[in-house]
Amino acid sequence: MTPMGYGKSSLGTCFGVFIILGGVWLKTTLVKSGVDEAGVRYILIVVAVSAFLFFMMDLTNNVKNRKNIEHMHRMLEYPAVKGKIAEVKKYRYNYGIGEEITSDEYRYHCYVYRVVASFYDEKNGCEKKIVSEVYARDPRRWTLSDRVDIHYSPDGEYWIELDAKQK
């Protein structure tokens, strides 16, 4: 389970390939049924532009998320301590701005979640709580237990790795 903005997308590429294959099938069917090649040209232009837009959608999304993905992989290479999920906070998601809501507010439809994990910091000798990145799905439904691995870098950055179910 990866946070929002930390994954690669391939759905646009799949749609682009599907559109191209559908356009080739449509062109072949129309030409075999006697339609002039010049009449099919506009359909092929629409197919090519649509496929290109879907390819570009994937490319721009993956380029935008590349920095986050590299950061996540770098953090996962650092040593980890065991911790547990202290709480899961629910936020109303509005164009990248999260506003925390209480559990009795049901009128919002777009939610995001953050995990608050606690662990014992041996260096300082105290209990620490850290907040995760934003998840699109409720982590309580997708984790096997309340245990987490908390990776820490020498710079003082933390990364929470959930004990998530495999797809």
DSSP collapsed to 3 states, the chain: CCCCCCCCCCHHHHHHHHHHHHHHHHHHHHHHCCCCHHHHHHHHHHHHHHHHHHHHHHHHHHHHHHHHHHHHHHHHCCCEEEEEEEEEEEEEEECCEEEECCCCCCCCCCEEEEEEEEEEECCCCEEEEEECCCECCCHHHHEEEEEEEEEECCCCCEEEEEEECCC
Structure tokens at 99: 């506003």
Two structure tokens written together for 114? 């953050």
Q: Which residues contact 127 (CB under 8 A, 6 or more apart)?
A: 118, 119, 120, 121
pTM: predicted TM-score of the whole model, two decimal places: 0.72
pLDDT tens per residue, range 9-55: 899 999 999 999 999 999 999 989 888 888 888 989 999 999 999 99
pLDDT of residue 105: 54
Mean pLDDT, all residues of the chain: 85
CA dist 7 → 89, 117, 141 (Å): 22, 22, 20
What's the CA dihedral at 129, 133, 137, 140 to 10 degrees? -20
pLDDT in tens, 91-129: 877 655 555 655 555 555 678 888 999 998 887 788 999
